Amino acid sequence: MPSKRKSYSADYKLQVVKYAAENGNRAAERKFGVTEKLVRDWRKAEVSLTAMKKTKKANRGLKARWPQLEERVRTWVLEQRAAGRGLSTVQLRLHAQVVAKEMNINDFAGGPSWCYRFMQRNRFSIRARTTMSQKLPADVQAKVDSFREFVEKHVTEHNVTLDHIINMDEVPLTFDIPMGRNSFVDSDSTDSSFEKKKKKRREKIKGKKEKMKRKKEKKGPIFQRGICINLH
């Protein structure tokens, strides 16, 4: 029976590297119970292991195909967030396509899959705002009073009656107010909103499969023109 694969943290690997540098690869193999090949690989990757978080166990995931483009897009996202502007994935993809055109990158599509990977690489996620973060102007009460006087004056001058006053179904909204949702923020948690949606989708598919399986098990043999057909 093959041995179960193990994963080791960056901190553990650096301990092995340090011991191997002082006592040799074979000695590190005996002391830590890992293969000599792993010791050699970890010693070669000492620089990258030092730059990693101590608890991280692997460098999983594909690297960016267009690192310079992604760096420009990342800077733009951070600027939008610093200005308090809402940002959706569609806006992100459109901006990335503009940047790609400026950099003469013809094979960049900027589709949803790229956007998802870009956000994963840069630890971005989409969350709902808890506040609009926009203060009312200092003279807001004066403006309200002025508008009320203006309306009352015109109602009196033009003999506007109640049957000429209606309620608007739509509320006007100025474009300088930031969006209420879809704000990019740094994701410090390992379980991002994308992962939650992915997990929920897997559970939904699993539930449907189990339901179909139970329905199939409940069905017994059926008879048709003297022929017994067993559905199992």
**Model confidence pLDDT, tens digit, residues 22-43:** 999 999 999 998 999 999 998 9
Percent of the chain whose pLDDT exceeds 70: 72
Q: What is the pLDDT of residue 214?
A: 78
Q: What is the pLDDT of residue 190?
A: 47
More confident residue, 3 or 135: 135
pLDDT band at 225 (very low <50, low <70, confident <90, very high): low
Mean pLDDT over residues 198-203, rounded? 80
Q: What is the pLDDT of residue 52?
A: 77
Short-list 40, 54, 43, 46, CA closest to 8? 54
More confident residue, 35 or 3: 35
How far, in Å, CA of 74 to CA of 80, rounded? 10
What average pLDDT is seen over the chain?
A: 78
Q: What is the pLDDT of residue 229?
A: 47
User: Which of 114-123, 159-168, 185-194, 204-213 shows the highest mean pLDDT?
Assistant: 114-123
Distance from the Cα of residue 27 to its chain's centroid: 44
Distance from the Cα of residue 13 to its chain's centroid: 30
Residues β-bridged to residue 227: 224
Residues 132-170: pLDDT tens digits? 556 677 888 888 889 889 888 888 888 888 778 776 666
| Terminal C-alpha separation, the chain | 35
Distance from the Cα of residue 230 to its chain's centroid: 48
Is 42 buried (19+), middle (13-18) or exposed (0-12) by CB count in 10 A? buried
Q: Above 90 in pLDDT, residue 19?
A: yes
Q: What is the pLDDT of residue 73?
A: 92
Q: Where are the beta strands (DSSP E) in the chain?
A: 124-127, 183-186, 222-224, 227-229
Residues 61-90: pLDDT tens digits? 667 788 899 999 999 999 988 887 778 888
